[in-house]
Amino acid sequence: MGLFDKLFGSGDPLAALRRASAQGRWSEALILAEGLGEKNLDPATVEEVRSLAAAAGDRLAEINLTEAEAFLRAGDSLRAKDHLDLARSQARSETLLARCAELKAELSAGPARPISPPRQEPAECGSGCQSHCSPAAAAAPPEEAGEGLDQETRFDLMVANYPTNLADRYFEIGPQLRQAILLAHDGEKKEALAAFAEVPAEAQDDIFFYERGTLAAHSGRGEEAIADLTRAYRVNPANPLAAETLVNVLLAAGRFEDGRQQLAVLAKAGYSPAFCEARLAFLAQQAGDAEAALKHGQAALAAGNREGENVLLTANLLEQQGRLTEAEGALALLAGGGCGGAVAWPLAEFWLRHDLHYDKALEAFK
């Protein structure tokens, strides 16, 4: 199950937290950090978890501050306050807390008036963070929450980065399915499976089969996962989570030809080249065809794919060919290479291997 673990995580929450942070999935990183807590962790790990949680909180706060300022400029003080409250609960840095205080004073002053200069929307960032910057961030736990996040907040965080149309559907699902999904995402696998069994037949749509199939995948029950995910895709081929996860599970199970055929179906239907090309790169790598793997990896990058595994695969193949400038450019696309000015670790390692930007590389490892 090594490949399966690679695609779906090893079950190590600290590793999952590091991966979510490295890929700019700030909402997920915040949930994982909250779930880890600090008990039974050594001091160095506690410091790392705190640092990653602070970084995730600040990124979410930046997004919500931008939203609050935009609503204030539009004269919608109520929604501006909602986003400001979220930002105040998320912000960790003194700079962001000061921005929150300034905006709070702006709101308290009376009718909304333009803020000058308007801040650039995060979605316009060209650093490779892509969609991770664009959705309005969901709530993080306020300081006084104490024992963690309530169910509604956890659910909001879970769907915060889903495609808009799909996220809207999640907010309309029934309470039984919602509870089953929350249990599954909390890692309560046995309880979640029992909860899915209680969902009435009329509510068993593509979301149901996708979530139950994903639970089976995380539980190591590959064939059950494939059956549920295949049904989810057939019920609604437009569900991108079902389409992508079905391919991933097929590849993780070693069913490479089935995965290739499913990719062909998706490509024929006009599905995202960013996803299809990246998975074709993976398949080519597994077959030992470095030339095809590089071709597909570069096509995925050109289509907007910034997944860590695709970036690393493509950069590694470029580096092997001595195309160092292109390899460096690919690694610069990793989350951490823009927005806040931080450098992603793989890029720092590349610099050290090739005696480039020594000071910046060392600063990244600090």
Rounded Cα distance, 223 and 44, in Å:
40
- pLDDT tens digits for 157-213? 777 777 888 888 998 999 999 999 999 888 888 999 999 999 999 999 999 999 999
Degrees, nearest 5: CA angle 319-323-328: 70
pLDDT band for position 366 (cuts 50, 70, 90): low
Give the CB-side neighbour count of residue 213, counting CA atoms within 13 A: 27
Q: Which stretch, 55-69, 108-122, 211-225, has highest mean pLDDT?
A: 211-225
- Three-state DSSP state, 26: helix
Cβ proximity of 66 and 31 under 8 Å: no
pLDDT band for position 364 (cuts 50, 70, 90): low
- pLDDT tens digits for 58-85? 888 887 788 788 777 777 778 788 778 8
Taking residue 177's Cβ as centre, other Cβ atoms within 10 Å add up to: 22
Class of residue 260 by CB neighbours under 10 A (exposed 0-12, middle 13-18, buried 19+): middle
Please give the pLDDT value at position 2. 39
- pLDDT tens digits for 124-142? 333 333 333 333 333 333 3
Give the CB-side neighbour count of residue 7, counting CA atoms within 13 A: 22
> Which residues touch 104 (CB under 8 Å, ≥6 apart)?
84, 88
Please give the pLDDT value at position 199. 94
Rounded Cα distance, 207 and 224, in Å:
16
Cβ proximity of 183 and 195 under 8 Å: yes
pLDDT band for position 57 (cuts 50, 70, 90): confident
CA distances from 145 to 91, 262, 338, 359 (A): 15, 45, 32, 40
> What are the tokens at 99?
């921005």
- pLDDT tens digits for 300-353? 999 998 888 889 899 999 999 999 999 999 999 886 544 345 677 788 888 888
Report the share of the chain in percent with pLDDT over 90: 35
Class of residue 126 by CB neighbours under 10 A (exposed 0-12, middle 13-18, buried 19+): exposed
Rounded Cα distance, 326 and 315, in Å:
7
Closest CA to 226 of 237, 213, 239, 238: 213
> Which residues touch 83 (CB under 8 Å, ≥6 apart)?
64, 65, 67, 68, 71, 136
